[in-house]
Homo-oligomer: A and B are copies of this chain.
Amino acid sequence: MNRIEIRLSGFGGQGIILAGYILGKASALYDHKHATMIQNYGPESRGGACSSQVIISDVPVNYPHIIRPHVLAAMSQEAYTKYVDELLDGGLLIIDEDLVRPNGGTQRVRLYSVPSTRIAEELGRKMVANIVMLGCIAALDDSVSAEALRKAVLESVPKGTEELNANAFDRGYEHGRGLVEGRPSTTDQRPPSNE
């Protein structure tokens, strides 16, 4: 039995839930696996870190909670701080490089930085940063196939925004491939913000 746990995290309004939904859908519909997605609400809903938990498995998922995730995407400093320690040793940590500054705890994991929000801004819509992040996950992790994930993105986003979202996914994917292959980023370099 193969069970993969993925946590997507950030703050409200970044489309973390939609991204989790798309990830589970891609696995179930196109990779023919079983999947669940949980959204937890609690004190953290009141303005703090927001996360969705996705479980992908070869068999039906009975326990939909994350135990120790294989993959953590962090799109805010608060989410990073809250969730980094639960990541498995050797797990994949992907951060938004303008919004998260890693402060320790990353030696034991594979850390990749992606300017997901900045790429989204270059595409004209900050709100597609979540889809850039999905493209990057597809490039860096093989628990969901890139083809499945791209298809699920295109059929989950609002009508009329397919091209924008396809571009966002492809830019994220390209960036991720570049990180794996050691290519320089094609994104405008900016000094890190002090947020």
Q: Is A64 interfacial (CB 8 A cutoff)? A: yes
Interface status of A36 (Cβ within 8 A of chain B)? yes
Chain B residues with CB under 8 Å of A28's CB are 41-42, 45-46
Return the chain B residue nearest A50 by Cβ.
B25
What distance in Å separates the Cβ of A2 from its nearest Cβ neighbour in chain B? 16
Chain A 62-95 interface mask (CB, 8 Å, partner B; 1/0): 0011000000000000000000000000000000
A152–B176 CA distance with the chains assembled, in angstroms:
35
CB distance from A191 to the nearest CB of B (A): 29
Which residue of B is nearest A33, CB measured?
A: B41
The residue of chain B having its C-beta at the shortest distance from the C-beta of A37 within the complex is B39
Closest to A158 in B: B158
Asked if A24 CB lies within 8 Å of chain B CBs, one says yes
The tally of residues in A whose CB lies under 8 Å from a CB in B reads 23
A17-B21, A21-B17, A158-B158 as given contacts; A64 in contact with B45, CB under 8 Å: no
Given contacts A17-B21, A64-B64, contact A36 B41 (CB under 8 A): yes
Interface flags for A107-143 (1: CB within 8 Å of B; 0: not) read 0000000000000000000000000000000000000
* Residue in A34, A41, A65 with the greatest tally of chain B CB atoms within 10 Å: A41
Contact A38 B38 (CB under 8 A): yes
**Residues of A11-62 whose CB lies within 8 A of B:** 17, 21, 24-25, 27-29, 34-42, 45-46, 60-61
Listed from nearest, the 10 A-B pairs whose CB atoms lie closest are A28-B41, A28-B45, A35-B41, A37-B39, A24-B41, A38-B38, A29-B45, A36-B40, A17-B21, A34-B42
